[in-house]
Amino acid sequence: MTVPRIAVLVPCYNEALTVEKVVADFRQALPGATVYVFDNGSEDDTARLARAAGAQVGWVSTRGKGHVVRRLFADVEADVYLLVDGDDTYSAGHGPQMVERVMAGHDMVVGVRDEAGSGAYRPGHAIGNRVLTAFLAWLFGFTCRDILSGYRGFSRRFVKSFPGQSSGFEIETELTVHALELHMPVAEVTTPYRERPAGSASKLNTWRDGFRILRTILVLFTTERPVAFYGTISIALLVLAFVLSVPLLVTYAQTGLVPRFPTAILTAALLVLSALSLTVGLILDSVARGRKELRALAYLRYRAPAGPESASANGS
């Protein structure tokens, strides 16, 4: 087999303090890889320093990590992709291990963060990550230890079939759900997560971005699992209608008269809404299946880096 093309993708915004080291570390850890730094309109020397360190530099004017990742996926051609933040919090030394897991047939490899030092996570980040990870696992039935990790490896077929819509840090959630919905082989590699160097500031806002990620999870659940979402609403409305109908049935049994007060009207309205909700879920399910089939066709256009024999033997 030919030597695989490995691309290290580094979305950056104002990372002049760290980008040189990130590029140098990954060039040393993966000598055959090409490092791509796409600058998101930085106000410092991020782009110049990245180029001086040996990276290929691109620009994305629309602000937001999701926009940068989408452009990287579209513009860069490779067999194996490593996505990493430019803040020097992830270990380049674990890059070869992640590449090996992709080469073994895994379409996504998640770098599960193991905090190295007390200041790696900002207050509330660790708890928020655990809550959001558990919530996504509960909704989609998928166990993943770190859905918000910014350190990931991908196969070419993952990257070229990913229809990203996110604009910000919720992109990691969308990446996870894409792998889940197409039943891709996914692996995890535990990697140290370091504190940012002095003078470097995180772009992640705990509450704002946390709510955006939560909203993304709910939106993806409604679009990918519409029967489950709207079916749950339908059942809830049906149960509420039943509870409200009990006094009406008692009145009818005692008097033989059909009540005409507002409770009867509300019960009838709830029954209609329940039926409509279930109908909407069934209709949207056919739409979701069509979208999923298109993504699957895009995914199936490409072979795994090591070939289908390795993927079938090692996929899990």
Q: Examine the domain organization and report whether 246 and 220 are in the same domain.
A: no
Number of structural domains found in the chain: 2
- DSSP SS3 for 274: helix
- Which domain covers residue 234, as residue numbers? 226-294
For residue 215, give the CATH number of its domain. Answer: 3.90.550.10
Six token digits for residue 197 = 């160097």
DSSP code, position 92:
G
Q: Examine the domain organization and report whether 85 and 230 are in the same domain.
A: no
* Residue 155 within a domain: yes
Give the pLDDT confidence score for residue 218 in this predicted structure: 86
* Residue 230 within a domain: yes
Report if pTM > 0.85. Answer: no
- 154 pLDDT band, cuts 50/70/90, is very high
Q: Examine the domain organization and report whether 214 and 277 are in the same domain.
A: no
* Residue 316 within a domain: no
Give the pLDDT confidence score for residue 207 in this predicted structure: 65
- 96 pLDDT band, cuts 50/70/90, is very high
Can you say whether the dihedral through the CA atoms of 84, 86, 88, 93 is positive or negative? positive
| CA of residue 168 relative to chain centroid, distance | 11
Average pLDDT score over residue span 265-271: 85
